[in-house]
Amino acid sequence: MIRTLAIVAALLGLAAAIALDAPTPGGAPAATATFASDPRTLPAVCPGTQTIPVGDIQSGDAELDSGSDEVDFTVLPEGGEVIDGGTAFEGVGMSLERIGSGDIAGLAGMTCAPTSRDQWLVGGSTELGASARLVLSNPADTSVRAEVALHTPVGAVDGVTSVVIGPGAQRIVLLEAIEPEMPAVAVHITAGGLGVSVAIQDSRLDGFTPAGSDWVTASAVGEALAVPVPAESDGGRGATVTLIAPDGAQVDLSMVTDQGEVTWIGESALTLEPGVLTEIPVPQAAPGTVLIDASAPVAAASRVRIERDAPAGQGTQAYDFAWTGSQARADARERAVVVPPGEVSLLVHADAAGAVDFDAVGETLTVTVPASGSVIVPVDVAAGVRLSSTTEASWTLVVTDDPGFLTTIEPVSVEMSSVETTVIVGG
């Protein structure tokens, strides 16, 4: 009897065990910690002088020579550190090169490119007559490896090009060697450590006629971008904006000038395929700013071409152009340029109307921007002065010169804001 009761009790115990609810699963994930690095000043590198893509050919006829005697190369401020062919600064620097004749005649200027671990450069062409010369500079004391991924209007090029840059050295990659015959290219460059400083020399030749040359620098990637258009656009091939969305995006384009918004040619809403480069003409308008609102991060740049008579005459036209990269519209970081010599104006856009203040080493320069507009004003500041702003505005210095040369000097932030790194204890 007792044993039967024991069995019954035991079976009831078993039933109770079966009736136990499964508990909330235990366990805890490994500690994930996100650390912000201390802000610091990034080194920036100006890549140096441009090179003639086909080499310096001396024909004896100054008008036909590829090279030029009228080369005026300025790097400001003084006191940069020479690395290979370039100059590195702890802070903001600028290079401006005026080449009066030859294949790459024109004005090419840029703010020295700060090193970065992940950057998009939109601009350049690998078509016949064009050369896209990617210059990678490593101002650090240790070597760094960069990976270059090329994007074209037909999408991403298979494979990446891995380049190791020694300490204080430069490496050149000709993009036409990676993928020729592409009317437009964009490169995505990733690097470790402090990253690399990169710029593309985009030089074009139309037969014997120079078709312009400029430096392409990094474009901001974001969903609300402004792309300065530094000169009057013709509504045709003379002024274009090039966009790329790494993961695809819906974008809405508009353009503003000091006269307010300009009507966009055709459909202003676009669908960007992932990794595919899209080139859109800019409406005919005065210098202004193209505004981009995207559903996902995009990078963009504008290219504006100025005509002039070709030196050889016969009614042919020579050109110079300027690449200007996109800027984030809501960027309140301090961004700065160094004012170059020559005829300089300031193209400013702000989403909110009002005053945009610039600091020119103690002096304040105020530009008033109209509502939903963009304004271009001449700048009267001595060359070599650092000009900076912390206002949420997009702006660029526009440099023009005779006989029809154009370039832009875009502001950069060399303060590396603290980078957030997530680390986790693993096995």
Residues that bind other proteins (CB under 8 A): 3-4, 6-7, 9-11, 13-14, 16-35, 37-38, 117, 140-145, 147, 190-194, 419, 421-427
**Residue placing its CB nearer to other proteins in the complex, 382 or 425:** 425
**Residue placing its CB nearer to other proteins in the complex, 171 or 349:** 171
CB of 35: closest distance to other proteins in angstroms? 4
**Residue placing its CB nearer to other proteins in the complex, 378 or 426:** 426
CB of 147: closest distance to other proteins in angstroms? 8
Q: Which residue has the tokens 């508009």?
A: 254
Q: Which DSSP letter does residue 4 get?
A: H
Rg of the chain over Cα atoms, rounded to whole angstroms, equals 27
Residues 174 and 292: their CA atoms lie apart, in Å, by: 30
**Residue placing its CB nearer to other proteins in the complex, 38 or 78:** 38
Q: 130 and 175 in contact (C-beta within 8 Å)?
A: no
Q: Facing residues of 75 across strands?
A: 95
CB of 197: closest distance to other proteins in angstroms? 13
CB of 38: closest distance to other proteins in angstroms? 7
Residues 73 and 15: their CA atoms lie apart, in Å, by: 90
What H or E segment, with its residue span, contains residue 9? Answer: helix 2-18
**Residue placing its CB nearer to other proteins in the complex, 355 or 419:** 419
**Residue placing its CB nearer to other proteins in the complex, 138 or 408:** 138
CB of 90: closest distance to other proteins in angstroms? 14
CB of 139: closest distance to other proteins in angstroms? 11
DSSP assignment of 133-187 equals EEEEEE-SSS-EEEEEEEEETTEEPSS-EEEEE-TTEEEEEEHHHHS-S-S--EE
CB of 188: closest distance to other proteins in angstroms? 14
Q: Which of 188, 208, 182 is nearest to 200 (CA)?
A: 188
Query: Quick check: helix, strand or coil at residue 391?
Result: coil
**Residue placing its CB nearer to other proteins in the complex, 96 or 221:** 221
CB of 3: closest distance to other proteins in angstroms? 4
Q: What are the C-alpha distances in Å from 366 to residues 191, 245, 337? A: 38, 34, 16
**Residue placing its CB nearer to other proteins in the complex, 127 or 147:** 147
Q: Which of 144, 116, 36, 115 is nearest to 423 (CA)?
A: 36
**Residue placing its CB nearer to other proteins in the complex, 196 or 318:** 196
Residues 87 and 45: their CA atoms lie apart, in Å, by: 6
CB of 7: closest distance to other proteins in angstroms? 5
Residues 411 and 394: their CA atoms lie apart, in Å, by: 9
**Residue placing its CB nearer to other proteins in the complex, 332 or 419:** 419
Cβ neighbours of residue 226 closer than 8 Å, sequence gap 6 or more: 289, 290, 291, 292, 326, 327, 328, 329, 349, 394
How far out from the chain centre does Cα 415 lie?
17
CB of 15: closest distance to other proteins in angstroms? 8
Q: 203 and 103 in contact (C-beta within 8 Å)?
A: yes
